[in-house]
Structure 1
């Protein structure tokens, strides 16, 4: 084989290696984005678990608003850096706020005793929170598909 042919073969192999490296990098980045979304969902689930625990086990808990919870801080920090340019990112606040306002209302209702006669109030708060939570998770999934 001539030197020219060897160089051509080397160049083709190098180009293939660079293309494979690019593919691996893109797949790794997508896995990182999936991890971000899953951690954000986990933080949100933990917030809801704490709320249920506070209501059903009569624990004294203080819930933060949707800006100051771990998910809210993630949204304004790492979440904004990675997903801020997606269409769905701008849709997070509405359902996230509904989850928090209903969780806080349920805790306050039990704490004040104003819903002890009508359990449907608490069920209503939790139902609204769960519906908004499902919407929020759909938005997070959409963000993952939209991120470039």
Structure 2
């Protein structure tokens, strides 16, 4: 949801031609997903395949969005629109990878529950 809000900010600035404080737009480390990924609970899943795929796509969303604003600020419409397309493409990939990651986390948690259940049964047999 946060990325929809973030992209909306990009589009609002783009359509209103409000290019003030472009440098203050959150980068891929500063947004909530970035904080989860780099500093927060997300790091517990860095061993999962999808986790490693997320970083590049996420960075591309932010980089292309800001670059689109910088280009339109300099009246480079065609290049700016191309950056917006790249932002959207990367955003779709972020959503897809997050879905995959969610499945991987669910599978891992289920395996851990199965393991705990098996260990619990073994523990009962020992005592």
- Superposition TM-score tier, normalisation by shorter sequence: 0.7 to 0.9
Matched, 1:98 2:60: yes
**Structure 2 portions without partners, runs of 5+:** 109-127
* Equivalent of 1:87 in 25, 49, 54: 49
Aligned equivalents of 2:102, 2:47: Cα separation in 1 = 11
Partner residue, 2:80: 122
Calculate the TM-score normalised by the size of structure 1.
0.63
How many aligned residue pairs are there?
102
Partner residue, 2:102: 144
Aligned equivalents of 1:65, 1:72: Cα separation in 2 = 8
Matched, 1:110 2:72: yes
Aligned equivalents of 1:120, 1:114: Cα separation in 2 = 9
Aligned equivalents of 1:69, 1:75: Cα separation in 2 = 10
Write out aligned runs for 1:43-82 (5 A).
43-59=2-18, 60-61=20-21, 62-76=24-38, 77-81=40-44
Cα RMSD after superposing both structures? 1.5
* 2:103 alignment partner, SS class: helix
Residue 87 of structure 1 deviates from its aligned partner by: 1.5
Partner residue, 1:20: none
Could you list the runs of 4 or more consecutive aligned residues of structure 1 that deviate by over 6 angstroms after TM superposition?
none
Max Rg structure = 1
* 1:104 alignment partner, SS class: helix
